[in-house]
């Protein structure tokens, strides 16, 4: 399209940038091997990507760049549909809040996906062969005329184009009155938990009509409600331990061996509030938006609005490490409250060796912190500045002090471009970043394998 000298310069990029609300990615998750990557969106769809290997089927040599490492679409399916609760006259959003993969036990893959109310178990299986040579049916499946059959043949399996089938195997419904915010598969491989604002239920993967309520913080009188559950996760190794975070910034570790109902925590992790920093929004910014166990199971990573914190399970008095994600927003909390950005729930992730943590921010920025040095780096997930194979350059937010070229001023941050959801490959330095309706996959070619401590 050439420049039109008469019409004013029209910026057509808005057409390209127009985002359908339904396409906004709402969750990202690698499976246990990292070969599959699932994303869920606000429209209730799940898209599964599979990692391509050049030498597929042969044994790959570790460290070789023979792995192309690219992820391509493997399957897409509609997981949840908009629903309506007739009893309460409430619409139930189809947005996928969380996806969790089950450990693989056979050729098929299983994943759990949940919206606000219903959890579903999906079986993802491949079919690359099909039987041919039926006696009574022809290739199209039509019945043959019996008079034409003169001999018997044994049907054989012939290779065919790969077909990925996704079928719902279980639907876990009517378990939650409030909005489900987390699901977590237990290390026992048989059970999983689902958490809403006030309750946590434990399900068996094979049983859909019953669940155990293991945490209930709903007060007898709702007037006394002071906090809600914001996230929950099972311990990676101990099938009796789980943790849940609250809107007050506390973490509770619960042991299911202690009692059937784990309302009383085994350990309470809480950092005393600094009275000098109290503001109108103290409660909001202390609300924990995500909690993740480290792969070792020894540490917890939490995210609240301005910081990411690492906690040692052995010490409940406070976090062992605190990382400022975007401290420059502290003076902007009022505006962020007005435009609702202060309610954004950022996720946080560990790398495979628990040496690096990562979390998202605004303006398509995300941050990584090296735990050994304590230093953080800001990176950007934005297509204009990221060409395939290009090296990600670090960014900086300028908030007073010496300004360098390329720095972004705090007031120029785009708060509509937020990185809320992300995932880190379980064993390699590959990260998946969800930026609104785009998925970015970055790989570390220099150090593809994580350094094991």
Partner 1 sequence: MIHTMECAADAQSLISISLMKIHNSRTQRGGIKLHKNLLVSYVLRNARQVYVKEKYAEIYRMQQYEEVMTVCNEIQELNPLDLDAEDAGDEEQARAACCGEEASLCGSACHRGAAQPAAHARTASALYGCSPLEDGGKEPDPSYYRSCCMEASPVPHCDQFPANGSTHCNITTVLDLDTHVVTTVENGYLHQDCCCCDALQCGQGAQSPAKKRKVEFGFCTSDGEEVSDFTSACKRAKREDCTYFHLDYTDTSNISNLISIFGSGFTGLLSRQADLEQICSKQVLASLGAWTRAIVAF
- List residues binding partner 1 (CB under 8 A): 85, 87-88, 90-93, 95, 116, 177-179, 197-198, 221-228, 230, 247, 275, 278-284, 287, 331, 333-335, 337-338, 340, 343
CB of 201 to partner 1, least distance (A): 15
CA distances from 391 to 71, 364, 442, 446 (A): 18, 16, 9, 11
Q: Which is nearer to partner 1, 270 or 370 (CB)?
A: 270
CB of 421 to partner 1, least distance (A): 18
CB of 280 to partner 1, least distance (A): 5
CA distances from 84 to 90, 94, 199, 340, 377 (A): 6, 10, 21, 26, 44
Radius of gyration of the chain (CA): 25
The span from the CA of 147 to the CA of 165, in Å, is: 36
**What are the φ and ψ backbone dihedral angles of 276, each rounded to 5 degrees?**
-75, -20
Q: CB within 8 A of 436, min separation 6: which ones?
A: 19, 24, 25, 416, 417, 418
CB of 173 to partner 1, least distance (A): 14
The span from the CA of 312 to the CA of 327, in Å, is: 23
Q: Which is nearer to partner 1, 248 or 396 (CB)?
A: 248
CA dihedral sign of residues 212, 236, 426, 232: positive
Is 177 within 8 Å of 85 (Cβ atoms)?
no
Max distance between CA atoms of the chain, in angstroms, equals 93
Q: Which is nearer to partner 1, 2 or 275 (CB)?
A: 275
Q: Which is nearer to partner 1, 51 or 98 (CB)?
A: 98
Unique residue bearing structure tokens 């042969």: 58
CB of 329 to partner 1, least distance (A): 12
Q: Which is nearer to partner 1, 55 or 279 (CB)?
A: 279
CA dihedral sign of residues 185, 191, 195, 200: negative
DSSP element (H, E) containing 83 = strand 83-85
Q: Which is nearer to partner 1, 87 or 152 (CB)?
A: 87
Q: Which is nearer to partner 1, 179 or 238 (CB)?
A: 179
CB of 208 to partner 1, least distance (A): 20
CB of 96 to partner 1, least distance (A): 13
């Amino acid at each position: 399209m050439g420049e039109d000298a008469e019409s004013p310069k029209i910026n057509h990029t808005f057409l390209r940038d127009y985002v359908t609300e339904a396409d906004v990615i709402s969750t990202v998750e690698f499976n246990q091997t990292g070969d599959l990557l699932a994303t869920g969106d606000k429209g209730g769809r799940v898209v599964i990507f599979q990692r391509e290997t050049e030498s597929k089927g042969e044994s790959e040599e570790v460290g070789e760049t023979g792995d192309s490492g690219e992820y391509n679409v493997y399957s897409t399916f509609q997981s949840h549909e908009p629903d309506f609760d007739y009893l309460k006259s409430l619409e139930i959003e189809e947005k996928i809040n969380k996806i969790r993969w089950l450990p693989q036990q056979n050729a098929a893959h299983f994943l759990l996906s949940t919206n606000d109310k219903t959890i579903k178990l999906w079986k993802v299986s491949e079919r690359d062969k099909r039987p041919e040579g039926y006696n009574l049916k022809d290739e199209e499946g039509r019945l043959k005329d019996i008079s034409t059959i003169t001999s018997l043949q044994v049907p054989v399996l012939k290779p065919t184009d790969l077909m990925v089938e996704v079928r719902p195997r279980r639907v876990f419904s009517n378990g939650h009155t409030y909005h489900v915010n987390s699901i977590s598969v237990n290390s026992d491989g048989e059970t999983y938990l689902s958490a809403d604002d006030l309750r946590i239920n434990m399900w068996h993967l094979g049983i859909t009509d019953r669940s155990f309520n293991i945490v209930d913080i709903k007060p007898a009188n709702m007037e006394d409600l002071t906090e809600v559950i914001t996230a929950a996760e099972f311990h990676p190794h101990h099938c009796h331990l789980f943790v849940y975070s609250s809107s007050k910034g506390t973490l509770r570790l619960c042991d299911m061996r202690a009692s059937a109902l784990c309302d009383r925590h085994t350990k309470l992790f809480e950092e005393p509030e600094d009275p000098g920093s109290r503001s109108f929004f103290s409660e909001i910014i202390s609300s924990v938006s995500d909690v993740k166990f480290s792969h070792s199971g020894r540490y917890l990573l939490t995210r609240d609005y301005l910081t990411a914190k690492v906690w040692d399970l052995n010490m409940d008095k406070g976090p062992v490490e605190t990382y400022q994600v975007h401290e420059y927003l502290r003076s902007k909390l009022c505006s962020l409250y007005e435009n609702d950005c202060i309610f954004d729930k950022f996720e946080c992730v560990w790398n495979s060796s628990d040496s690096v943590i990562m979390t998202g921010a605004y303006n398509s920025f995300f941050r990584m912190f090296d735990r050994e040095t304590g230093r953080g780096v800001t990176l950007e997930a934005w297509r204009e500045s990221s060409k395939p194979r290009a090296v990600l350059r670090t960014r900086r937010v300028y908030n007073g002090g010496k300004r360098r070229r390329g720095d972004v001023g705090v007031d120029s941050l785009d708060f509509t471009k937020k990185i809320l959801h992300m995932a880190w490959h379980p064993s390699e330095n590959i990260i998946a970043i969800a930026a609104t309706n785009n998925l970015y996959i970055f790989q570390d070619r220099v150090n593809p394998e994580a350094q094991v401590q």
